Structure 1
Amino acid sequence: MLKSLFNWRVLLNILLAIVVFVGLVWLTFRWLEYHTKHGQETPVPNVVNKSVYDAVKILEDTGLDYEVDSATYDPKYRPFQVLKMSPSAGSRVKDGRAIQLRVNPRTWAPVAIPDVINKYSGLAFQRINQVGLKIGDTIFEPSIQKDAILRVLFKGNAVKPGTLIPRFSTIDVVVGSGPMRNISIPNVVGLTVKEARGVIARSMFEVGLVEHEDGSKDESDIIYYQDPASGDVRDQGMQMDLWASKKTPAELNAKIEQLNSIYRMKVDTSLPPVRYEEVHNYPAPQEVAPVVPVPVHKTEPVKTEPKPAATKPAASTVEKPKPSTSSTGNANTGSNNKSATTNTPQQPAQKPKAKKVVVE
């Protein structure tokens, strides 16, 4: 066994195998050195803060490749300025190695306009500010959708939700200000249904019921009746009902009269106009009878002078009229004075108003 192992032929085969293995390993490393350019390294030039055009030219002249990637826009740097590079400047790399460049973009990345159509303006403004857009002019337009966003304008043109525009751009919004009042109803009798729809839309009304005489839905049918009638006034957004037929309105007089009896209210002008008076909630003030002033006789204060002892106090003193020259007059005067003195307490209304009574 050992003799066969140390046979010269066996030893020769082992030696040849070792030589072949070593030769293959040497050739492999030589090929790798040639293919990978072992020992041939190139220093990476510094292209930070340079424009991307200058950086690319420098790398190409050095024999290096490049890959450009944009970063988030930063207004502190110039557009297309190189902000960062990898590997860093001064590193040694093989020829043809790709150097990654981070470049400041020309402007902000575009953002999509949010879907705020028909939304309440207060919430819509918050959503627009959140995506990084600014609101310029707020244009109010008559609409039944009060305080709702009707359109979004960018540079004067209407844009749809989802349109990409630069960030921090200024957009204008059209907001509904409420319906217009007292708009005259247009006359669409004699027009086709398609033409009537356009006229009604331009007059800021809506199409309501459209009844075709033959039951079809042909847009070329002619309108022979409408409600409300032309010339009436309505608010914006009110519906207009239409009756259409393939016949002309002159051929449908009976049908028109029937519709007039239903939709046209006749006013009897022979009756007197009704007067409406405002009724107050509070009761009307009661009339107070005027107070008749009662004449009050002013009496003088009572005088308390000492009376003579021989004089009898009198209850009242009445000023007597002067006696007449005739005897008959004297007698009558005396009797009249006596009766007046006697009847004074019982008949105060017969006192002469010119007399003055002093009570002591």
Structure 2
Amino acid sequence: MFKSITKRSFGFNLLVVVGIFAVLGLLFFSLLGFITKHGDTLTVPDVYKKNIQEATMILENAGFGVDVRDSIFVDSLPGLAVWEQTPARGSIVKVGRTIYLTVNKVIPPMVQMPDLTGLTFRSAEMTLHSLRLNVGDTIYKPDFATNTVLQQLLNGKPVKPGRDIPEGSNITLVLSSGTGNTENPAPDLVGMTFMEAKETLSASNLGLGTVIIDPSVRDTANAFVVKQTPMRRNSLNELNMVRAGESVDIWLSNTRPEKDSGVVPAPPVEQED
């Protein structure tokens, strides 16, 4: 065969080679549509919120490949549920196209609780959202600084800054509603223990201001209030009035006062001659 080829002219052999390549080219292009499945398209089904196993079965039965490319935590979704799919649902793609899925984590990651005390509600809300935490209930209490955070709670209990908590937790914010318009008599705290005084102030919607402790005090909770500002009565023996949200300063000592030092004796009444 080699001799028969070599006996032919170069021009003839060249035409034969060109013809072979032309036939191969025509064959390739005629099969290209079949190889690439040109014109064979499918609509991507919706697998949002479906469990990863169910989503995989739906996609593979529809002629797609499946690849889990990422995970995220969304507290409103069950674990291993599909959060996102690419291409999106309803997209027209070729048969066999791989659909990339983002699924929800089973165990939420932990984040550190921020210190929200003293922030405005808006700032606290933005801080929580940046850490993927949610604002739960809002509770208002009288206080001077209107609409600022007085306390942060998790599951009804105070939560300290820096504590690790699950991402997606609902944080209850105790906010200041400002001072009230109604005036009430200042409570009489003198003679009470420190804990009793705190409970009385809380029940009266008053804040605890400065606490001055005698150096001899070792057990603050059971120390006695010997002085307060504002006092129960003024120098004219009239009741001092306070508004909800205002603060009362107290002085603590180991010794219980013998009498109510917050009560000023009434001035003597002069008798006419």
**TM, length-normalised to structure 2:** 0.44
**Which fold has the larger relative contact order, with Cα–Cα distance below 8 Å and residues 6 or more apart in sequence?**
2
Kindly indicate which of the two structures has a greater share of residues assigned to strand.
Answer: 2
**TM, length-normalised to structure 1:** 0.36
